[in-house]
Amino acid sequence: MPDPAPPASNFRIDGKRLWDTLMDIAQIGATPKGGVRRLTLTEVDRRGRDRFRIWCEAAGLTVRIDSMGNMFARRPGRDPARLPVLMGSHLDSQPSGGKFDGALGVIAGLEVMRSLNDLGIVTEAPIELVNWTDEEGSRFGHSLMGSGVWAGVYPQPEMEALKDPDGVTVGAALDSIGYRGPEPARPFPADAYFELHIEQGPILEREAKTIGIVTGAQAQVWYDAVVTGRDSHAGTTPPSARKDALVGAARIIDLVDRMMRARGEDGRGTVGQLFVSPNSRNVIPGEVRFSVEFRHPDEAEIDRLDAQFPREAGFIARDTGVSLELTRLFRIPAQPFDPACVDLVRQAAARLGYPAREIVSGAGHDAVYVARHVPTAMIFTPCLDGLSHNEAESIEPHEAEAGGQVLLEAVLARANRVGG
Ligand SMILES: [Zn+2]
């Protein structure tokens, strides 16, 4: 049963302070085009972490760091026996990233802490603000690393051995910036986790919604495909003698797109990589390798795609006179978020009068792994043109404020819930 809606509060975060702090952290690793380059576990990341830590300590929070560099800043509650309510996101960025991907969730969490202080509010449960290490995966080639190790999805020794292009390991990088903490990186009992993030897609902006009530993350299935035909001379080989691997691949790519579109706006199907061999303009391609991925919020739909795609792609290969080798790389289950936590986000948006809609996360987030151990929900805010992982990534101050305000209300309601 979801908690009954608490009465509308007059508690407000300080939107200007939130925005100023976002602009302040964006100076660390600022790029000339207005973006951010704050690659995980670099000197720039260390400066961002140090600044964040100083802000947390100035707000009276106690900061602890685990052995993957994940940072937890705790504000005590009235009842020390209650499990903490967590909120957070990540401060690392893509190589040419924007100011808000990740930073919004962490800095809005800081603003929630500062506002609770200003308002003199003592919550029943403690509240902890988290900065997860290496969400982006752009330096060591492995995304969601800090939360993934914490959640037990990835083995820590394997992650620590990963190297960046200069041969520096994750372990060495943690040591060199001084952020390998004494706490073990593993789940501890927590009451809930809330993550505010920009949508990184166009849906909220297109529908003029201020808040996305994220109900979960979609299921995925990924394949590698190899189509084999026969290399032959482009000028001398008549149609009856051709085994064109690229024509076979092109028809399969069209199949991926048709299967996606048959599922309406919830469908996702992508071929993002294509390697043509011998890749010469006067040779009929003998081999084509490509990637295929499907995503959908509904697990059963992924089951159907996973049954239908290999079969129909096989028919296409046969009709085209080529052979198809399909390897299923992995399948990621859908991760529904906790209904009671999602409901707190829904109620907060409604109380505050923000236009809102339910949405399924199309991207991976730390929250998806945290959700395996802790009741979790996410809040999305719109971003300009749905653009992210780009220096031009942009949001409006009032959008950041709305997200922060919903975060405050959801966290407060959870931390003060009866029987928590
Ligand atoms: Zn992010």
Residue written as token pair 């959908």? 296
101 CA to middle of ligand 1, Å? 5
180 CA to middle of ligand 1, Å? 22
330 CA to middle of ligand 1, Å? 22
Q: Can you tell me the mean pLDDT for 171-199? A: 98
100 CA to middle of ligand 1, Å? 8
The tens digit of pLDDT for each residue in 45-92 reads: 999 999 999 999 999 999 999 999 999 999 999 998 999 999 999 999
For residue 390, pLDDT over 80 is answered with: yes
CA atoms within 13 A on the CB side of 379: 39
Is the peptide bond between 4 and the residue preceding it cis, with omega within 30 degrees of 0? no
For residue 238, pLDDT over 80 is answered with: yes
Q: Which tops the pLDDT comparison, 7 or 380?
A: 380
The pLDDT value recorded for residue 2 is 44
133 CA to middle of ligand 1, Å? 11
The pLDDT value recorded for residue 110 is 98
The pLDDT value recorded for residue 418 is 87
198 CA to middle of ligand 1, Å? 8
Q: What is the mean pLDDT of the chain?
A: 95
Q: Is the dihedral of CA 335, 339, 340, 342 positive or negative?
A: positive
The tens digit of pLDDT for each residue in 13-48 reads: 999 999 999 999 999 999 999 999 999 999 999 999
Rg for the chain (alpha carbons), in Å? 24
For residue 3, pLDDT over 50 is answered with: no
pTM for the full predicted model: 0.88
For residue 363, pLDDT over 90 is answered with: no
The Cα 190–Cα 186 span in angstroms is 12
Q: Contact 378/361 with Cβ under 8 angstroms? A: yes
User: What protein residues have CB closer than 5 angstroms to ion ligand 1?
Assistant: 101-102
The Cα 135–Cα 369 span in angstroms is 11
135 CA to middle of ligand 1, Å? 7
303 CA to middle of ligand 1, Å? 28
Residue type, 160: E
55 CA to middle of ligand 1, Å? 21
97 CA to middle of ligand 1, Å? 10
The tens digit of pLDDT for each residue in 284-305 reads: 999 999 999 999 999 999 999 9
78 CA to middle of ligand 1, Å? 32
42 CA to middle of ligand 1, Å? 18
Q: Is the dihedral of CA 102, 103, 104, 109 positive or negative?
A: positive
357 CA to middle of ligand 1, Å? 20
